[in-house]
Structure 1
Amino acid sequence: MTQPRTSPLQPMPDDWRRALAVVAHPDDLEYGCAAAIAAWTDAGREVAYVLATRGEAGIDMLEPEKCGPLREREQRASAAVVGVSEVEFLDHRDGVIEYGTALRRDIAAAIRRHRPELVITLNHRDTWDGALWNTPDHVAVGRATLDAAADAGNRWIFPELTEQGLEPWNGVRWVAVAGSATPTHAVNAGPGLDRAVRSLLEHRTYIEALTDEDPESYARDFLTSTAEAAGERFGGKPAVAFELFGR
């Protein structure tokens, strides 16, 4: 049953050591939850990133063969700002990711490699809060990540992964969805907010193609307003909100 929109957001679980964030594009995590990731790495937790694409189709005036390597560099620099050093790319094609067994297999393999207790992804539903249409890439990767959390623990699904030395991992305890219209939990964004802004700013080429605003003002205004809105249900503290699915 969906929680009422006015109900308080609960604190995210903190009895875990490793997390894996799986999203479609460079910048998805920076728009979605970098302040929470900064707080987690500050606390000594391990977080790794897996991106389905290199974002090569994301900038209209830049050819994919030039855009992909550029956005990969920006993503690695962005991750480093919030304490993440492991960043992997699955090399699905930007803009035309297909939900299905191939995507589930790739994400299940990543979960087996990293063996996280917490998996993080982005809004997998058709819209953003019923107002804006979501992209097919976000929908496909979010949905496949929720499925792959179970696939990773079943040795009879994708047995070829075991043959490749990736033993089943049934240790995922939660999948947390950022950008959900129906969040249930949150993390205090205050300590990590400045680094979240700097992390988003590492995607400067993308931001400059997206808006005529000053990049720093754009990044700070967007992340601050989002955190303040979530904080209205989190004791008035700026927050990063998640919809948490237990397993």
Structure 2
Amino acid sequence: MTARLETMPTDWQRALAIVAHPDDLEYGTAAAIAGWTDERREISYLLVTRGEAGIDTLDPARAAKVREREQRASAAVVGVTSVEFLDHQDGVIQYGPALRRDLAAAIRRHRPELVLTINHHDTWGGTFWNTPDHRAVGRAVLDAAADAGNRWIFPELGDRGLSPWNGVRWVAVSGSPHPTHAVEVSGGIERAVLSLLEHRTYIEALTDEDPESYCRAFIDQVTSTAADRFGGRPAVSFELFPR
């Protein structure tokens, strides 16, 4: 029997969502974020790239501008106004100290209790191979949550006025093939669909399907899949790593 998903913690106020590309958060996680902003929780986004390699028909320099604009519009739909980009190179993000340093710096700046990212595992459900960017960023997020609190790792951050932050209590991974927790999202589903739809240029290059139908079907699939293990309620699932 598949275990029931536990309810996500609610005793937090600030979260930082760190992902590789524009649109990563919109494939489900945004439904949860919409509910959290309704509760007046503070959510910020950090994109490691601008997704410049994601649209075959657009030159990377042009794609970066389009995808940044679409990401900011997408975030606004679910009540997020803080959106930052790190400018690592899309498609070839390298896991290592440089990435960990950048993420630790962001965590020290934002001082979140909850850090969000997406699937860092090798596959999506054991079927589809995950991208190297997702794997690199997800693993670096898990490490940087600890790095941010250790003054002797990346001491140069302290010289920049970024004092250690050991207040991250959880890292929550969406899209994981090993979910442990979930959050009910019935109030955020429509905004999640509209948030994903803001990535229209990317979606139109990705599929011949009507963009709104594509977005609605994807969000419905994600939230119904989690519902099967969450009392039948529309939900988004996470693999939760406490610290």
Same fold (TM over 0.5): yes
Amino acid at match of 1:82: V
Find the counterpart in structure 2 of residue 109 from structure 1.
105
1:200 aligns with 2:196: yes
Matched, 1:214 2:224: no
Counterpart selection for 1:186 from 178, 182, 186:
182
In structure 2, which of residues 120, 134, 137 is the aligned counterpart of residue 138 of structure 1? Answer: 134
**How big is each residue's C-alpha offset from its partner over 1:26-55, in whole Å with a ceiling of 9 and x where there is no partner?**
000001300000000000100000000000
**Equivalent position SS for 1:199:** helix
Where does residue 43 of structure 1 map in the other structure?
Answer: 39
Conserved in 2, the CA contact under 8 Å of 1:37 and 1:47? yes
Residues paired across the two proteins, number? 243
Q: Does the 8 Å contact 1:32/1:122 carry over to 2?
A: no
CA contact (8 A) 2:28 2:192 kept: no
State the distance in 1 between where 2:37 and 2:100 align: 27
Give the structure 1 partner of residue 235 of structure 2: 239
Residues of 2 paired with 1:226 and 1:16: CA distance?
A: 24
Q: CA deviation at 1:226?
A: 1.2
| Cα root mean square deviation, aligned | 0.6
The correspondence for 2:122, drawn from 111, 114, 126, is 126
Cα distance, 1:225 vs structure 2: 1.2
Which aligned pairs between 1:25-64 and structure 2 lie closer than 5 A?
Answer: 25-64=21-60
What is the match of residue 149 of structure 1? 145
Task: Report the AA paired with residue 33 of structure 2.
Answer: I
Separation of aligned partners in 1, 2:236 and 2:168: 21
| Structure 1 unaligned spans of 5+ | none
8 Å contact from structure 1 (residues 109, 161) kept in 2: yes
Cα distance between partner residues in 1 of 2:28 and 2:44 = 15
> 1:117 touches 1:173 (CA, 8 Å); kept in 2?
yes
- Structure 2, unmatched stretches of 5+, are none
Give the TM-score normalised by the residue count of structure 1: 0.98
CA contact (8 A) 2:28 2:222 kept: no
Distance, in Å, in 1 between the alignment partners of 2:90 and 2:149 is 28
Structure 2 partner of 1:95: 91
How far, CA to CA, are the matches of 1:32 and 1:11 in structure 2? 17
Taking the aligned partners of 1:32 and 1:174, their CA distance within structure 2 comes to 19
TM-score (norm 2): 0.99
Give the aligned partner of residue 229 of structure 1.
225
Question: What's the CA shift for 1:238?
Answer: 0.8
The amino acid that maps onto 1:134 is: N
Which letter does structure 1 place at the counterpart of 2:88? H
For the Cα contact (< 8 Å) 1:186–1:241, is it kept in 2? yes
Cα deviation 1:82-119 (Å, max 9, x = unaligned): 00000000100000000000000000000000000000
Report what 1:77 is aligned to. 73
Q: Distance in 2 between matches of 1:225 and 1:14?
A: 25
SS at match of 1:230: helix
Task: State percent identity of aligned pairs.
Answer: 73
- Deviation, 1:11, is 0.7
Shift of 1:189: 1.5
Conserved? CA contact 1:152–1:169, under 8 Å: yes
Distance 2:185 2:133 in 1: 26
Is contact 2:28-2:223 (8 Å) kept?
no
Structure 1 ranges of 4+ moved more than 2 A: none
1:162 corresponds to 2:173: no
Q: Separation in 1 of the partners of 2:116 and 2:221?
A: 22
Q: Distance in 2 between matches of 1:32 and 1:135?
A: 18
Structure 1 residue 170 displacement after superposition: 0.1
